[in-house]
């Protein structure tokens, strides 16, 4: 199986020993604490799960700027997106400033229980110039209308860095018991299935016919034993479809339209960044760490609102060192319904095509039709999936 990124074995930061975890949880209740942002809490879950291997915690300012500007840490490790714990000034109490260790409280669980303990390596103040640099390099824009920019810009200016030990998986294990899996668990599952070549597919949406077709085309192209459908379970922008609905849609589609034991349906606990090309690189790191040999990058991967070109998230892989990642990238083009062939096809950029022949499919178009109460045609969605989605949109309309 493919090696993890930058390490021989996964390095999950979850405290797996029961007695040690109980001891630390008790200790955390007595420590000075800060309330994490949702993004920083999701990063703690990713660190716990092994997806952020080989990171040991949150980055300091120099590390974050190195990652933002050069896509590598000062030690030379390739890393595409800063992983930071930034808090507002009111959280920097004297107790926190003088502590060797602090508790990191979970903003997404009632009562804000401790999620992790951090050894404090540094507490630094982020200048406005540094903040704008980090935002522009990560998102390619500082536009406050971009869905990812405010989540970074508005969390504060104080950077708390250091290694962490994680006490739980926030709400993900309880809310998504059948879907949430750590990178460790996915590697174990791949081995148990006897798969050697695995193509991974990232989704924050219910899978429409183009997604289904892209997965099958990629599987055939790389001769994969199986497909890892890996859905984001964290926070999204307004208007995106909730994880529970997406999960139901994907499970229905796989059960009815994929051969048995060719798909593993899993999810991970991260908030969507909508950082386009940079996030595509980060997603590739995740999939290498969970054991996939190939990763699908489709049109406008991890984008939103037209901030990125259709294939920017593919082309950024041409700019990184050849040895930066070991995972192979399958580059998807426009995947459409062919009227002549009566099936999903993937158009090639260098081949001429007859626009009258194809029916283009997009998640945006699908959401617009559902919001308007329009039935989805079979070229867009499998009927069983469309039924689940229509039921959700009708319930929202009547709420």
Looking up residue 108, the CATH number of its domain turns out to be 3.10.400.10
- Compute the average pLDDT of residues 331-338: 71
Mean pLDDT of the chain: 91
pLDDT at 150 over 60: yes
Residues 241 and 118 in one domain: no
The C-alpha atoms of residue 151 and residue 296 are separated, in whole angstroms, by 27
Examine residue 10 and state whether it is found in any structural domain, yes or no: no
Give the Å distances, CA to CA, from 86 to 52, 58, 104, 106, 137. Answer: 18, 10, 12, 14, 17
Q: Which of 119, 145, 170 is the last residue of a domain?
A: 170
The C-alpha atoms of residue 100 and residue 27 are separated, in whole angstroms, by 13
Domain boundaries, position 183: 177-268+274-398
Residues 38 and 139 in one domain: yes
The C-alpha atoms of residue 263 and residue 136 are separated, in whole angstroms, by 37
pLDDT, one tens digit per residue, over 337-374 is 666 676 666 666 544 456 666 666 666 777 778 778 88
Is-contact 29 114, C-beta < 8 A? yes
The C-alpha atoms of residue 181 and residue 169 are separated, in whole angstroms, by 10
- Compute the average pLDDT of residues 247-259: 93
Give the model's pLDDT for residue 350: 44
The C-alpha atoms of residue 389 and residue 249 are separated, in whole angstroms, by 8
Give the model's pLDDT for residue 337: 60
Give the model's pLDDT for residue 342: 66
Helix (H, G, I), strand (E, B) or coil at 302: coil
Residues 230 and 353 in one domain: yes
The C-alpha atoms of residue 85 and residue 197 are separated, in whole angstroms, by 36
Phi-psi region of 140 (alpha: psi -120 to 50; beta: other; left: phi over 0): left
Residues 76 and 101 in one domain: yes
Examine residue 11 and state whether it is found in any structural domain, yes or no: no
Examine residue 7 and state whether it is found in any structural domain, yes or no: no
Residues 256 and 328 in one domain: yes
Q: Which of 146, 170, 194 is the last residue of a domain?
A: 170
Give the model's pLDDT for residue 71: 98
Q: Which of 119, 147, 170 is the last residue of a domain?
A: 170
Examine residue 1 and state whether it is found in any structural domain, yes or no: no
Residues 109 and 252 in one domain: no
Is-contact 232 203, C-beta < 8 A? yes
Residues 121 and 229 in one domain: no
How does 4-43 read in b/e, with b if 16+ C-beta sit within 10 Å?
A: bbbeeebbbbbbeeeeebeebbeebeebbbbbbbbbbbbb
The C-alpha atoms of residue 371 and residue 356 are separated, in whole angstroms, by 27
- Compute the average pLDDT of residues 16-24: 97
Higher pLDDT, 242 or 182: 182
**Percent of the chain topping pLDDT 90:** 74
Torsion from C-alpha of 82, 83, 85, 87, nearest 10 degrees: 40
Number of domains in the chain: 2
Of 276-290, 293-307, 347-361, give the lowest mean pLDDT range. 347-361
Is-contact 290 198, C-beta < 8 A? no
Residues 191 and 52 in one domain: no
Examine residue 5 and state whether it is found in any structural domain, yes or no: no
pLDDT, one tens digit per residue, over 97-134 is 999 999 999 999 999 999 999 999 999 999 999 999 99
Residues 206 and 158 in one domain: no
pLDDT at 220 over 90: yes
Examine residue 2 and state whether it is found in any structural domain, yes or no: no
Of 151-155, 195-199, 395-399, give the lowest mean pLDDT range. 395-399
Which residues have a catalytic role annotated?
204-205
Residues 207 and 327 in one domain: yes
The confidence band for 38, taking pLDDT boundaries of 50, 70 and 90, is very high
pTM of whole model > 0.75?
yes
Residues 216 and 108 in one domain: no
The confidence band for 165, taking pLDDT boundaries of 50, 70 and 90, is very high
Looking up residue 241, the CATH number of its domain turns out to be 3.40.50.620
Q: Where are the beta strands (DSSP E) in the chain?
A: 33-35, 57-58, 86-87, 101-105, 114-119, 122-125, 158-166, 198-203, 226-232, 263-268, 294-297, 328-331, 335-338, 343-346, 358-360
Examine residue 196 and state whether it is found in any structural domain, yes or no: yes
- Give DSSP secondary structure letters for 50-62: TTTTT--EE--HH
- Of 14, 20, 43, 58, the residue nearest 107 (C-alpha): 43
Give the Å distances, CA to CA, from 132 to 106, 138, 141, 235, 278. Answer: 26, 10, 9, 23, 16
Residues 235 and 379 in one domain: yes
Examine residue 195 and state whether it is found in any structural domain, yes or no: yes
């Amino acid at each position: 199986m493919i090696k993890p990124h930058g390490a021989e074995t996964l390095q999950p930061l979850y405290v797996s020993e029961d007695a040690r975890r109980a001891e630390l949880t008790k200790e955390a209740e007595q420590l000075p604490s800060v309330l994490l942002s949702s993004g920083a809490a999701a990063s703690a879950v990713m660190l716990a799960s092994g997806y952020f291997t080989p990171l040991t915690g949150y980055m300091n300012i120099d590390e974050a700027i190195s990652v933002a500007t050069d896509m590598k840490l000062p030690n030379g490790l390739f890393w595409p997106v800063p992983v930071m714990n930034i808090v507002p000034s009111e959280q920097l109490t004297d107790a926190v400033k003088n502590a060797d260790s602090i508790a990191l409280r979970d903003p997404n669980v009632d009562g804000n229980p401790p999620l992790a303990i951090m050894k404090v390596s540094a507490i630094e103040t982020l200048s406005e110039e540094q903040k704008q640099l980090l935002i522009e390099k990560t998102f390619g824009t500082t536009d406050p209308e971009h869905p990812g920019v405010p989540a970074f810009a508005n969390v504060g200016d104080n950077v708390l860095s250091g290694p962490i030990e994680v006490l739980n998986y926030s709400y993900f294990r309880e809310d998504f018991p059948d879907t949430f899996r750590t990178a460790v668990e996915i590697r174990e599952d791949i081995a148990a299935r006897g798969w050697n070549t695995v193509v991974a597919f990232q989704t924050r949406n219910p899978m429409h016919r183009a997604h289904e077709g892209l997965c099958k085309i990629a599987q055939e192209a790389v001769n994969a034993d199986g497909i890892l459908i890996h859905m984001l379970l964290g926070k999204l922008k307004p208007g995106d479809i909730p994880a529970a609905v997406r999960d139901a849609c994907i499970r229905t589609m796989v059960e009815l339209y994929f051969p048995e034991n060719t798909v593993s349906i899993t999810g991970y606990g991260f908030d969507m960044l909508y950082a386009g090309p940079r996030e595509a690189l980060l997603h590739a790191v995740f999939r290498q760490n969970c054991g996939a040999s190939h990763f699908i990058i489709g049109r406008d991967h991890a984008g939103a609102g037209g901030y990125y070109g259709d294939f920017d998230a593919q082309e950024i892989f041409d700019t990184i060192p050849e040895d930066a990642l070991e995972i192979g990238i399958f580059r998807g083009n426009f995947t459409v319904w062919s009227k002549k062939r009566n099936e999903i096809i993937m158009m090639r950029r260098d081949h001429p095509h007859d626009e009258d022949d194809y029916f283009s499919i997009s998640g945006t178009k699908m959401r617009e039709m559902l919001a308007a109460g329009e039935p989805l045609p079979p070229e867009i969605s499998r009927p069983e999936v469309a039924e689940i989605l229509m039921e959700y949109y009708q319930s929202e309309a009547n709420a």
